Amino acid sequence: DTEVTQTPKHLVMGMTNKKSLKCEQHMGHRAMYWYKQKAKKPPELMFVYSYEKLSINESVPSRFSPECPNSSLLNLHLHALQPEDSALYLCASSVRTSGLGTDTQYFGPGTRLTVL
């Protein structure tokens, strides 16, 4: 089973709202990722968690706040977003981020976010 689940599937929020995206995997993977994908563009890496610790933050604005409460869960907290933040937010996981390069990333279905 290579399933990564994400909730909600769709989210509409105003610029003053606070919301959270949730990602879950039960494959025993210790690396989890957040990507942002705009229409007709490839995914762009936002954050990487390795063994529940943030290991990469790709200069993402502070209005996006990731959290990894345990090895199976990854959250993305959203606050004071802008309309240009509207996109598909993808979660992925892999066995690890050892740098050995043998770790395939498996993607969830994404949350389609619209900021009004």
Partner 1 sequence: AQSVSQHNHHVILSEAASLELGCNYSYGGTVNLFWYVQYPGQHLQLLLKYFSGDPLVKGIKGFEAEFIKSKFSFNLRKPSVQWSDTAEYFCAALNYGGSQGNLIFGKGTKLSVKP
What is the distance between the alpha carbons of residues 43 and 50, in angstroms, rounded to a whole number? 19
Residue of 56, 60, 73, 95 that binds partner 1 (CB under 8 A): 56
Q: Of residues 13, 27, 45, 73, which one binds partner 1 by CB under 8 A?
A: 45
Candidates 10-18, 60-68, 77-85, 95-103: pick the segment binding partner 1 (CB under 8 A). 95-103
Write the interaction track for partner 1 spanning residues 23-42; mark x where CB under 8 A is met and - where it is not: --------x-x------xxx
CA distance 14 to 25: 29
Contact 72, 49 (CB under 8 A): no
Applying CB under 8 A, which of residues 66, 78, 110, 113 lies at the interface with partner 1? 110
Residue 94 as a binder of partner 1 (CB under 8 A): the answer is yes
Distance between CA 34 and CA 74 in Å, rounded? 9
Residues that bind partner 1 (CB under 8 A): 2, 31, 33, 40-45, 48, 50, 55-56, 90, 94, 97-110
